[in-house]
Amino acid sequence: GAVVSQHPSWVICKSGTSVKIECRSLDFQATTMFWYRQFPKQSLMLMATSNEGSKATYEQGVEKDKFLINHASLTLSTLTVTSAHPEDSSFYICSARDSRRGGYGYTFGSGTRLTVV
């Protein structure tokens, strides 16, 4: 149980375009979802926390107008990278919390490798 599906796995886009990444909880309701970014050989960096039906809470230094997060349902959250630039190239990972599972409640998606050319 507690599967999180993340799509796409990888994407290449041109500079200036927008990219949408989807994160779905397949067998549970994810009241809280987290979006992380990870650069090569670095640890996870939390970008934002989203709760279903409310605005996302962004970490300091993360531009909310550039990284649009929508968590409109209990099973789907999306991250849209708007006007992407090469420096946005990174590994983006979502994580969802299944409140039924207590300490096991944090499940990661498989990640999306974004390359902006």
**Cβ pair 93, 79 in contact under 8 A:** no
User: Cα dist. 4→27, 51, 80 in Å?
Assistant: 8, 16, 18
Residue 29 interacting with other proteins (CB under 8 A): no
17/110 with CB nearer other proteins: 110
CB of 16 to other proteins, least distance (A): 27
Burial 84-117 (b: 16+ CB within 10 A, else e): beeebbbbbbbbbbbeeeeeebebebebbebebe
Site for other proteins in 78-117 (CB under 8 A): 91, 93, 97, 103-111, 113
Residues in the chain: 117
The pattern of x and - marking residues 36 through 75 that bind other proteins according to CB under 8 A reads ------xxx-x--x-x-----x------------------
Residues lying near other proteins in the complex (CB under 8 A): 6, 32, 34, 42-44, 46, 49, 51, 57, 91, 93, 97, 103-111, 113
